[in-house]
Structure 1
Amino acid sequence: MSDCGNRAISIIGFIGSVFSPWYRWSGRKNPANNCCLNVVTYGRGGRWTMTDRGEEALGLSRDRLQIGPSAMVWKGDRLEVQIDEMSTPHAQKVTGNVTIQPSALTDQEMLLSEDGAHVWRPFAPTARIEVDLNRPGWTWSGHGYFDANFGTRALEADFSYWTWGRFPLNDGSACFYDLERRDGTTLATGVGFSMDGTPHAIQMPPKQRLNRPFWMVRRETRADADFRPHQVKAMLDAPFYNRSAIKTKINGEETVGVYEALDLDRFRGPWLMPMLAVRVPRRKRWRMP
């Protein structure tokens, strides 16, 4: 998010694009054959890019994830994202660089399922971000975050609903995960991270509801009992997924962070896949330069 709060960006590199209809229709047998760099900008002139690509477009090395003409590159103490994508439905080029400079890196990870089939790893819970894109007004600085999720089964096979949030604090940041699993169990966890990346337990505020967005996805987050959390910036609103900037209060400190809610009961419905195919074009062939 920009320091002024008016703009934001999300970038996700997928190997095995979990939200791709093409990946589901393929039977999810070869994750490398459905990779993409999903870049979404929020604010005036915001754009959406999510091109599903074949395994010819994927290049992997110790410090580089290449997906088609775009790449994520680790350079010393920072992550640089080199973007060269086409937006949908505007069919406009989105190019430029985004640099994530962590205050520190962590070696922490958390199992989201008891058998370890799903893992969350917050590499850099607190970071600065520099955005320099070809769109007017899209050169800015702000606060950012860098994590990863790994899995060996489809999300909708093991979960029915989850929410996640990351919120900057005076002494670092806090992350919350609330999961509802298909076996009837739940996971509710909150962890704080100091500026040096050290994790520490934090008191979990109670769960409170947020107003539902246009697509009526259920939303709830963590907030002190004396505070009503609310959305301050709409980001992504889909039939099964919502991302937004929300204001909440965590153990006495008011903060604005990025929040998401994912309804996997809706996502596994076959009616949704043709809709997603419109937003996620498939480009199988791409040759490395």
Structure 2
Amino acid sequence: MSDCGTRAVSVIGFIGSVFSPWYRWSGRKNPQNHVCINVATYGRGGRFTMTDRGTSALRQTASRFEVGPSMMRWEDDTLVIDIDEISSPPLISRIKGQIRVIPSALTNVELALTPDDSHIWRPFAPRSRIDVDIDRPGWQWSGEGYFDANFGTRALEEDFSYWTWGRYPTGAGATCFYDATRLDGSELAAGFQFDAAGNATSIPLPPKAPIRRSLWAVKRETRGDAGAKAKQVQNMLDAPFYSRSAIETTLNGERTTGVHEALDLRRFRSPLIKPMLAVRVPRRSKWTFS
């Protein structure tokens, strides 16, 4: 998120694009044949890009992840993201530029989201700075950043019915909450406080704080001090099964604004969703590196 609070960006690299209808229709047999660097910009002139690409578009090393025209790479202690993508309908345009993520520290925290470790969350850099330089007016800014990863051996909808996640910067570092309802009815509830050096502490969970439903009526909730209200201050991404937004809440008496996600996997399982997603997630199976 920008320091001025008016713009934000998210970038997700996928091997086995979990939200791609093409990956689902393929039977999820070859994740390397469904790769993507998803870029979304939020604020005036925001765009959404998510192109599902085939195996010929993927190149990897220990420090580089390349998908077609875009890549993520480590340069010393900085994660450099070069993007060159075409946004989805109805606002079709090229999004080209560079984002630099500078972590204050990297962590070794790992949270299993299911008892058999079929889904793992890794918050690599809970507190970072980002510099954004995209070739559109007003899209050169710096702000608060974050870098994490999820790993899984099964489809999300096979194990979960709903989850919500939030990451909030604080004077002491950053606080993350992960709450999920598994398909068998069991619950996951976890909270971590990270300091600037990357040290993590599991914290007692404050109560859940409801948030007004999204435009697609996705249920949303986060956590915060007892009696304090949480509210949306910026809508980012709104889909029939998913919401991403900037949420303001109170933690230990400190008012803070962070990024929040809610995912309704009961809706995502609907066969009606996949053709809708295919419009926003085009498939480009062939690629040749120059």
CA–CA separation in structure 1 for the residues paired with 2:187 and 2:144:
30
Instruction: Kindly provide the amino acid, as one letter, of the partner of residue 224 in structure 2.
Output: A
Residue matched to 1:88: 88
Q: How far apart are residue 231 of structure 1 and its match? A: 0.2
Q: What SS is found at the alignment partner of 1:274? A: helix
Instruction: Kindly provide the amino acid, as one letter, of the partner of residue 277 in structure 2.
Output: L
Residue matched to 1:220: 221
Residue matched to 2:10: 10
Q: How far apart are residue 203 of structure 1 and its match? A: 2.8
For the Cα contact (< 8 Å) 1:129–1:143, is it kept in 2?
A: yes
CA–CA separation in structure 2 for the residues paired with 1:270 and 1:83:
31
Please identify runs of 4+ aligned residues in structure 1 that moved more than 6 A.
none
CA–CA separation in structure 1 for the residues paired with 2:215 and 2:94:
28
CA–CA separation in structure 1 for the residues paired with 2:183 and 2:22:
24
1:256 aligns with 2:254: no
Residue matched to 1:266: 267
Q: How far apart are residue 187 of structure 1 and its match? A: 0.6
Q: What SS is found at the alignment partner of 1:83? A: strand
Deviations 1:150-178 (A, max 9, x none): 00000000000000000000010000000
Residue matched to 1:25: 25
1:181-220 equivalent positions in 2, closer than 5 A:
181-220=182-221
For the Cα contact (< 8 Å) 1:240–1:262, is it kept in 2?
A: yes
1:1-289 equivalent positions in 2, closer than 5 A:
1-89=1-89, 90-289=91-290
* Identity rate, percent: 61
Instruction: Kindly provide the amino acid, as one letter, of the partner of residue 127 in structure 2.
Output: T
Deviations 1:102-145 (A, max 9, x none): 00001111100110100000110000000000111000000000
CA–CA separation in structure 2 for the residues paired with 1:185 and 1:288:
46
Instruction: Kindly provide the amino acid, as one letter, of the partner of residue 179 in structure 1.
Output: A
Paired residues, what number?
289
**TM-score with structure 2 length normalisation?**
0.99
Unmatched tracts of structure 1, length 5 or more: none
CA–CA separation in structure 2 for the residues paired with 1:229 and 1:40:
24
CA–CA separation in structure 2 for the residues paired with 1:201 and 1:194:
12
Q: What SS is found at the alignment partner of 1:59? A: strand
CA–CA separation in structure 1 for the residues paired with 2:237 and 2:121:
22
Unmatched tracts of structure 2, length 5 or more: none
**TM-score with structure 1 length normalisation?**
0.99
What's the Cα RMSD here?
0.6
Q: What SS is found at the alignment partner of 2:215? A: coil
